[in-house]
Structure formats: structure tokens, C-alpha cells
Structure 1
Amino acid sequence: MPCKLAITSMSLGRCSAGHSLVHKLDMACLYGYRGIELFYEDLLDIAQQVPGNSTTDKELEAAHIIRRLCQERRLAIVCLQPFAHYEGLLDRQAHGGRIEQLLFWFQLAIALGTDMVQIPSNFLPSSELSEDSRVAVEDLREVADLGLQQKPPIRFVYEALCWGTRCNLWEQSWDIVQAVDRPNFGLCLDTFNIAGRIYADPSSPTGRTPNCDQAVEGSIAHLIATIDIQKVFYVQVVDAERLTEPLIQGHEFYNADQPARMSWSRNCRLFYGEKDRGAYLPVIEISRAIFHGLGFEGWVSMELFNRRMSDEDEAVPHELASRGAVAWMKLVKDMKLRIDTPTPERIVVASL
């Protein structure tokens, strides 16, 4: 299918900062987005507004509400995310608890009208995760098999986070997808996370890893030669800010409980092409590899994380939706993408 524009719901503003999902969906519709990755945080925020005592009943009702809100705005729900900290747990009792949660997520996905759940690579401390990659593979094969039993089947999209504990490179995530070997288990390619590991180092004074250009060149060549495009379920295209000072102790974004790349990701991601805001990753080269080298077509999501999302300024959702739309059109022009874009139209705001 042609490329279609999506955005993560949280990328239009945090609900904890007072940015309602209804307003964010309105802004997404206004600026021509076709779908959203629904962040679980936004579902919980709606659930808190639903009367009743049962947490599960409230979340299921929230899922039905969100589905209606999206249908009214002709927005697809691409996936529910993130089902985090799952694979490779040493505590197998905790693993069992996560499976129980997943079974409920299946109910949520059906209520939302989506068939996909995103699993980011685990970034719990290494002391909590098995060093045997076969454990992670078996865990992920387990969820895939459970997903195949659902009606309709649930798909999973796995993503390597650049600060992941055991899996932090796209190559590792691809190896896992191949090892899981299920038709409903695929890959998310994220330009930020690809570049964030092999090109960028926010803790370095240069902001870059040694031999970063050669690393990117080799990674891109390998990606084009290796990945089966049918296993790429969607892509995320974002950039990030070059810091003026290394992200080490004393920096405003430093968090002793987080890897530097995670703190950087949470505060400093930028939309594609935002050079005026300090974007510096080789996103255009990685995007060419994905769209031209692999020939990807499908959902393209702007998964932004940035400190601006937590500002209580009422203008945040409008600003971020607008910036994302500008970035999308630049990406379309640069990549010469074949797209499916409706004419943005103003709508009547629905109430819960």
C-alpha cells in the first residue's frame, strides 16, 4: 500500500501535562495524519474518567471510547504500545504475570480495532535478564503463538531500542525475528534507534561514536542486503538533537537510573529534517535505505519523545502535530514517496 502518516499518541503531548487524547486526536486529524500508535498511558488516562470499580472493565470501556473517537476522525489505530520489559526475564513467575497481562492486552486490541502490539527490546538491568538469547526467543515465540490463536490473529512488532540491555541493534532484532519464525511476528525499523546506537553517543563531547560514518555505511549496506521487507510491519522516522554538553553527571538531562541514550531519547528527539533545532543524525541516509533500498511502503510513524511533550502549554498538541506534518512532507519530497494523504478538514470535537 502507499505510505501513510501516523504518529504516537503521546508524541502530541503527555496526558500528565493536561493534554487530552481528544484534543490530540483532533490535531492529528487536522494535520492529515491517517493513524496513531496508541500509547498505553493515554488509554489509562481515559480509563480513569470511566465510572466503576473494576480496572479491567474501565480499561476495556476506554478502548471502546478511543476506537469511536478515532473512527469519528477517520484515524486508524496502528498498534497498541509498548508491551515493555517482557522477553528474557530471569524471574519466571514475573514472566507468567506478563503473559496474563498480554492476554488482557488481546482484549484491549480487539476493543480498539487494531491487530498489532508493539514490543520494545527489554532494557531492565542485566541482573534481571538471561544472558541466553534462546530464552528471549522462546518468550517471544510464546506470545506470537498466543497471538495466532486470537480471532482475528494478533501481530507483534519488535523493535531494538538503542539502550536495550541485550538487544540494541537492528541486526539483533532481525536475528530474533528470524529465530521466532512466526508469520505474525515482525520488525519495526526506527531511524532514531538505528542511528542512536552506531552513530550517536550523547555522553561524548563529540556527540558521536568513533568511526560513526563507516558504521552507518556498513549497517545500511547490510540492512538492504539482509532484511525481508515482508517482515517490516511499520517504520518510525525521527531524528534527535545534538547536545552542546555531554550527557554525564551534572547535565540537566542526566539520570543516574537511566543509560545516557535513554535520557537523551526521552528529552531530545526531533522530527525529520529539523536541522534548525539541532537535528544531526544520518536519518536521510537510513531512510533512503528503508524506502529505496528495501522498497518499504506502509505505515510511517513519527514517534517523537521530547521534553516539550511535558509542557503544560495548551499549544503543545497543535505545535507538535504541525511540526510532524511539516517533517512528513519533507520526507515525502526527499524520498519521493508514494503516499495516501487525505485533505485535512476541521471537525466537530467529540466529547467523552
Structure 2
Amino acid sequence: MRTSIATVCLSGTLEEKLQAAATAGFDGVEIFEQDLIVSPNSPESIAALAAELGPSLDLYQPFRDFEGVDDEQFAANLARAEAKFQLMKRMGMTTILLCSNVATATIDDDEVVVDQLRRLGDLAEKYDVDVAYEALAWGRFVSEYARAWDLVKAADHPRIGTCLDSFHILSRGTDLSRIAEIPGEKIFFLQLADAPALSMDVLSWSRHHRVFPGEGAWDLTDFLTRVAETGYAGPVSLEVFNDSFRQADTRRTAVDGLRSLRWLEANVTAARTGSDPVRLDLQPLPHVSEPRGIDYVELSTDALGALTRQIHQLGFRFVGFHRTKPHVQLWRRGQARIVVTETTEPGVESAGPAVDSAESGDPSVEPASPAADFAESGTRLRGIGFAVDEADAAMERALLLSATEVPRDQAHDEEVLRGVFAPDGSEVFFANGTGEDPQWTDEFGNVPDDRQSAIDHINLAQPAHHYDEAVLFYTSLLALTALPSQDVPSPTGLVRSQVMSSVDGAVRMPLNVSPDHSTNALSRGAGSSGETYPEHVAIACDDIFTAATTAVARGLKFLAVPQNYYEDLAARFDIAPELLDRLREHNILYDRDDSGEFLHFYTSTIGSVFFEMVERRTGYHGFGAPNAPVRLAAQHRRNKES
């Protein structure tokens, strides 16, 4: 499948955008007119640069407000079009995007529009240019793809075709059945964008909130499947207007865009039920199933004593030091495993997953690698190991989706573990999950532990500019599902939270963007004003009160819960007084739904990490969301006091 990206998707200069698209691996680019206008380089120079870098120049866009006008205006529009055709010839470009008129159209008459399209086609013929006519969702008279196609069909000109844009079609909730009527050769161009489900005017939605496929709410697999089955064989291009993308690192955004197209391509390959071949040359990816669970969490710290003391207070048992890396420890509570890497020594490496690129000095990792977002000091969540059915297939898929491999040194007799950097700079490793203790734990010794405990969920803080990238990353690499996002109030603003989950709930990862996470760099929870938005690991247990009693006996100081919370709890739920007293005594929070109950408590924060102990009763599947503001406020107070 030929891939393309509009330069409007990316930040930077036109030259930087071309370089980023080429480095990411796109086959072509769309030149957004404003990018060319503001460039100091000539059209010929831009064409030569593109030829040197590799991507073809697939589309010049946009040409606006052409049809449905009076004769005088039409003559001026033809002259304007001819100037653009001459410019395209200088660049060797052969396709232009014609948007349906939104500003100057005064004649809503199909015969007039058809005639004007036909005359434009005659002019385009002189310059060997194809015109792709697109219905903008807010077009004055032409706003539906079906009507745009009817006009193109009536014009019956070899130089006039249509452009299908998923945003303009799906944002209006348009019936897609008529796509099948359009011959593939009359679809001159295809543009894709996803979008979150929002209730707002379509123009603002389009200009600010488009995202790459897989990062929004639309079924683009169905959309692309329908287009592929028309016989369309041209580029599949991204046209995304997004405020965050235009401020983010150009190369990373380009990589994220290509990942979205490769993921979508594989989805269409798997979804097609017909045996008839399509001309898009769709390629599959290695299949991966949802992870079986969390194999381990790795924390790095320069406060080893404080961190391991808190882990011990939560009932974890010390398994041992790594046999070749004495600065690395393993702690265990049932099937919950925490690898702790001490980082007081410069250049130390982790035993479970990897070594950060910045520490390894690996020259193959470009500065745009997500690892550059990772702070080198403090206590932070360094990585996650996922138990998967086929670790090799998961790794192959990750690399084909443009993920960056984590460099890792290991002895000849150590378990081979491979992983990649996540968008926030943390590390994701794949281990074959069999339901038994993984082999890598033998490198620490073996301490059996049959307690009913496991990692329940991991709450990850995300930089705002890479939030959508993270959603696509976990969707495409690990087959996780993005649940509807929620906004949680905190003392410093709203925290946006979206859960990535496996269908069976074995893996649950809320991704959070906090109100002050507005910069590219993520110092593992530190916002630009100094307020911290930490990450946490939640541990499941079968008796929250026993866990709390053990923790208190070992000296743990819980995150304090105000008395007002328990008075409100008594008002909201019919809770037995003795249970309410036990909750209050241990600073335990409570939630209930139609399926069951959820009891949990929090520790204080060390660096940018804290822990949560949870007990799920019967079928409760949530995260105690009503209690999140209580926790955020308590953390805010603790931060102010410290």
C-alpha cells in the first residue's frame, strides 16, 4: 500500500517536513500550499529535495472556492487555476485537490457546476493535471461525498475525479454504501483522518481535533475496506489538522503517522472476507493476541532504601539480587513482581528489561527517540514486561510498526528479553507467558509465593503532545482496547484519563494527561510549574484489611483521607457502620457498582511513583473513579507540605 502524508500534519518548515516523512518511510507527501508559499526555496528546489530524499509529491492542495459562481468570477477562478497548474508543472506534480466551494458559491445548480468542472478539466488537460474534487463537510452547496461524485460522474471528463476524505464523510454520519458505486479509477485521491467523538461545530472539529487512524473513535477499517474494494490503487494519505501535532517533534509525529497507516492496513487485510483481489497491495502484520497479563514492573530509583521499605510494607518479599547485576533486585507478592534498579551509579543497566539509550551511548538511537523524554534521576516507572503468547511475533510486529528497540546487554546464560520504547520514554518488554513463573526470575533466585496477589493495573502519566501516540502505540502493538476517556478534577485542573485494557481485564492501564503536562519532556510526573502528577502501580489482594494491618505494623503511612469523604460515603451508600469505621481507620476508599465492590488505599509518593492496594469483590471492573479527586487532592496537600 502506497503511503503518503500531508505536510499540514507536521510541525516545522517544509524542508524539515519532507525530511521527516522520508525518514519515517512514507512513499509520498501532499504539499500544503501555505508550506510552499512561506518557504524561501523555489518550487524547483523543493522538487529536487523531494527527489533526493525519496518521497513522491502526490498532491498539491488545497484549491478553494472554484465552482458554483457567476461567469465573471468563474473566469477569474480559471486564471487562478492555470497559475497553480503552471506551478505544479515546475514541481513535476500531477494531482491537485479541489475543495467544494464554501465562501463564494452563489449558484446551486448542478448543470452550472458540471459545466464549470468540465471546463476546468479541459484546462487541466493542457498541463497533464488531474483534479480531485472533494466535498467539504461545511461546503455551501456540496457537502456530501455522494453529491460530489454525482457531479464528477456527470462531468464525465478524464481529468476530473473525486477525492474521498474520511473526516468529511464520517463527521457527518454519512451512509457509506454509495462508495461502492464509484469506480476506483475515478477516485483520484484518498485522505484519512480519525477524530475523537465530540459535540461541536464540524469546522472547529476538523481544524483542531483530527488524529491519526487508531487514535480516535471512528471505524476506519471499514472505511478503507470499502474504498479498497472499489479498485482504488492510489496513495493512502494522512491529512490531520491537530494543534498538538503542529507543536510536537516533527520526526516523531511522522513515525506515529506511518505506524497508524501500517496498523490500519493490517486491520483491513484481516477484516476482508471476500476473495477478490484489491489493487492497494495490502500487507499484513504478524498477529498478536492480547497480553495474558503484566509479567513485571521495573522501577529505577536513587532512593533505594525508601522505595524498598515501602515495597516491603506492602507485603512484598525480597527474592534476591540479580546474579550479575548487584544493583538490581526482585521483589514479589504472589504473581506481582517488581524489579528495582538502583541508579546512584552512573551508567547502570537494568536486569529485567534494558538499558536506556542515553545510558548505553547507543548511536543508533536518534535524538527523536522517546527515550529522550525520560528523566535520569529520581524514582520512576522505568518499564513494563507483558506476558504474551509469542514474544518473537510481538517484537517483530513492534519493529514493523516503527517502534525503537531498547538496547540491552545480557550474559550468554540469561533469558533473552527484547523490548521497545513507549512514547513516554518508558520501556515495553515482551515475555512468553505460560501461566508459570517466567525463566528470567531464575536470575534472581527462586522464592515460591502462592498468595492471591497480582498487578491489578498501572497508571501512566503521558506528555500531552504524545498522548494520542500512546493510545495508538498500545492499540497497535499489544492489541489493547482504548476505553472512553474521562476528565477527573484535581486541585490544579482537569486530568484527562483513558484506560487501555485487554478484553478480559488481565491488563489495565489508565493513561493520564494532567493539566500542567504541556511540554514534550516528561520528567516522570513533573509538570512545568513543579506540581507532580505521579504514576502508580496497583496491587490486587484478597483481603484489603489484612494488607492494611500488615502495612501499618511495618510502619507504612497511608495517603490521608479526609473525614468529609467518609461522611459523603455514608450518604451515598448503605454501608454497615462497622465497615465504615474500618474503612476510616485504615484510610481505605470504597466504591460500588451493580457488579461488585472496590476497596483501595494509597501510599505516599516517592519521586514520581506511588502504590495502590486494591481488593475487587465479585464483578467490579472499574478503578474507583469517584475517588480519584480525593486522591489527587490528598497528594496535592502532601506535596505542599513536603
TM-score by length of 1: 0.74
Q: Secondary structure at the match of 1:131?
A: coil
Q: Match for 2:56: what amino acid?
A: A
Counterparts of 2:94 and 2:232, CA distance in 1: 20
Q: Which has the larger share of strand?
A: 2
1:265 corresponds to? 206
Structure 1: distance between partners of 2:235 and 2:210: 20
Letter of the 2:261 partner, please give it: W
Q: CA deviation at 1:180?
A: 1.1
Q: CA deviation at 1:338?
A: 2.0
8 A Cα contact 2:266 2:282, kept in partner: no
1:186 aligns to what?
A: 161
- Mapping 1:335-346, distance limit 5 Å: 335-336=268-269, 338=281
Task: Summarize the Cα distance change of 1:131–1:339 in structure 2 as closer, same or farther, 3 Å threshold.
Answer: same
2:36 match: secondary structure: helix
* 2:109 is the alignment partner of 1:132: yes
Unaligned runs of 5+ in 2: 270-279, 284-363, 367-642
Q: Residue type matched to 1:320 in 2?
A: T
Per the TM alignment, residue 41 of structure 1 is displaced from its structure 2 partner at its CA by 0.5
1:147 aligns with: 124
Is residue 39 of structure 1 aligned with residue 32 of structure 2?
Answer: yes
Greater displacement, 234-243 / 299-308: 234-243
Q: Which residue of 2 aligns with 1:174?
A: 149
Contact 2:213 2:220 in 1 (8 A): yes
Give matches, 1:1-352, under 5 Å.
3-13=1-11, 19-46=12-39, 49=40, 62-90=42-70, 92-124=71-103, 128-150=105-127, 153-197=128-172, 199=173, 219-224=175-180, 226-243=181-198, 246-247=199-200, 260-274=201-215, 279-291=216-228, 293-311=229-247, 315=249, 317-336=250-269, 338=281
Q: Distance in 1 between matches of 2:365 and 2:185?
A: 36
Q: Is the 8 A contact 1:35 1:75 kept in 2?
A: yes
- What is the distance in 1 between the residues matched to 2:62 and 2:178? 27
Compute the displacement of 1:339 (Å).
Answer: 5.2
Residue 30 of structure 1 contacts residue 346 of structure 1 at CA under 8 Å; is this kept in 2? no
Give distance in 2, aligned partners of 1:141 and 1:296: 22
Partner SS for 1:307: coil
Structure 1: give runs of 5+ residues left out of the alignment: 14-18, 51-61, 200-215, 248-259, 348-352
Report which of the two has the higher share of helix: 1
8 Å contact 1:123–1:165 — kept in the other structure? yes
Is the CA contact 1:148–1:154 (under 8 Å) kept in the aligned structure 2?
Answer: yes
Distance 1:339 1:242 in 2: 28
> 1:222 deviation in Å?
2.7
2:15 partner letter? V
Letter in 1 for 2:125: L
Identity of aligned residues (%): 28
In structure 2, C-alpha distance between the alignment counterparts of 1:220 and 1:106, rounded to whole Å: 32
Q: Give the letter for the 1:222 counterpart.
A: R
Offset of residue 81 of structure 1: 0.8
| Shift of residue 346, structure 1, vs aligned partner | 11
Kept in 2, the 8 Å contact 1:5–1:35? The answer is yes
Q: Show CA shifts across 1:129-183 (max 9, x none).
A: 2121222221111110111123xx2111111111111111111011011111111
Give the structure 2 partner of residue 255 of structure 1.
none
How many correspondences in the alignment? 277
Matched-pair contact (CA < 8 Å) for 1:192–1:283: no
Q: Which residue is 2:294 aligned to?
A: none
SS in 1 for 2:266: helix
8 A Cα contact 1:239 1:271, kept in partner: yes
Of the two, which has the highest radius of gyration?
A: 2
- CA 1:327–1:99 in structure 2 vs 1: closer, same or farther (change >3 Å)? same
Structure 2: how far apart are the matches of 1:23 and 1:329? Answer: 23
Of 176-185 and 282-291, more deviation after overlay is shown by: 282-291
- Structure 2 length as normaliser, TM-score? 0.41
Amino acid at match of 1:280: A
SS at match of 1:233: strand
Distance in 2 (CA, whole Å) between partners of 1:45 and 1:309 is 19
Higher relative contact order (CA 8 A, sep 6+): 1
